[in-house]
Amino acid sequence: MRRSGKVAFMVLLLLLPLAFWGAERARAQNPTLYWGSTGWHVMRVQQRLAQWGYYDGPIDGVFGYKTWKAVRYFQWKNGLAVDGVVGPATWAALGFPSYTPTPTVSRGYTTDRDAVLLLARLIMGEAADEPFEGKVAVGAVVLNRMRHPSFPKTIPGVIFQPGAFESVSNGQIWRPLSPEAVRAAGLALAGWDPTGGALYFWNPAKTVSPWVWTRTIITRIGNHVFAR
C-alpha cells in the first residue's frame, strides 16, 4: 500500500467510532434508488428481494430491468406506490427504515467508510461470536480473495459472489453491527492478516462441502479453520 493509502487508513481507524455510530443511525443513509443506480446500496436491495423471492437476477449492484421489475412487484404485493423507485417507504418495507443522514466528511472518506461497514457486516454475520482476532481473520479472507485471480476484484464482488458466504444467503449479514466488528474490519483493511493468506474458512462443527477439506489448512482461530 502506498504511503498516502496508509495515512488514509490510519485516519480512517481514528474515525471508526464516528463512522459506526453515524452509519448505524442512518443505516447506510438509504439513498433513493432507481433504474441506472449502481453500488452496494443496490446490492442490499437485490439481496433482500432475492431472499424474499421477488428477484432472481445477479447480485451485481446494477439497478437494471430485472431489479426494476422486482421492485415494482414487491411494491405491488406490499401495498406501496408501484413506481419502481426505492424511496423511504420501500426501504422501510424491505426492513431498512430510513433515518436522518449524518454529514459526510468527503467523497474519499465516504467510500472508505462504506468499505469498512460492508466488510464489518460480513464479519458480524460470519463471526459475531468469535474472538476479536477471529473477526479480523474473516475480514482478511475477503481481502485475500479480492487479490487472488480466481475471485472478484472488489469487496462487494467477493462478499456477494453467489454461494460464497452463508451469512449473505441467510440474511445474517444485515444484523446490527457492533463497534468490535467495525474495528476488526478497519484493521483487516489496514493490513492485519492473522490467517497468513487464507482464502477459505469454515467451522468444523458444522456440515460443510467435503471439497473444502481438500484445501491446505493454515491455522485455526476460535471456532474457524482457515485454509488456502
Work out whether strand 224-227 and strand 217-221 pair parallel, antiparallel, or are unpaired. antiparallel
User: What domains does the chain contain, in order, with CATH numbers?
Assistant: 37-94 (1.10.101.10), 112-227 (1.10.10.2520)
C-alpha separations of 218 from 126, 138, 196 in Å: 19, 14, 7
pLDDT of residue 19: 45
Q: How far apart are CA 50 and CA 97, in angstroms?
A: 19
What's this model's pTM, rounded to 2 decimal places? 0.59
CB of 177 closer than 8 Å to CB of 24 = yes
Q: How far apart are CA 53 and CA 116, in angstroms?
A: 29
pLDDT of residue 107: 29
Q: How far apart are CA 69 and CA 76, in angstroms?
A: 11
Tens of pLDDT, residue by residue over 49-73, are 999 999 999 988 889 999 999 999 9
Tens of pLDDT, residue by residue over 67-85, are 999 999 999 998 888 888 8
Tens of pLDDT, residue by residue over 199-216, are 999 999 988 888 989 999
Q: How far apart are CA 217 and CA 219, in angstroms?
A: 6
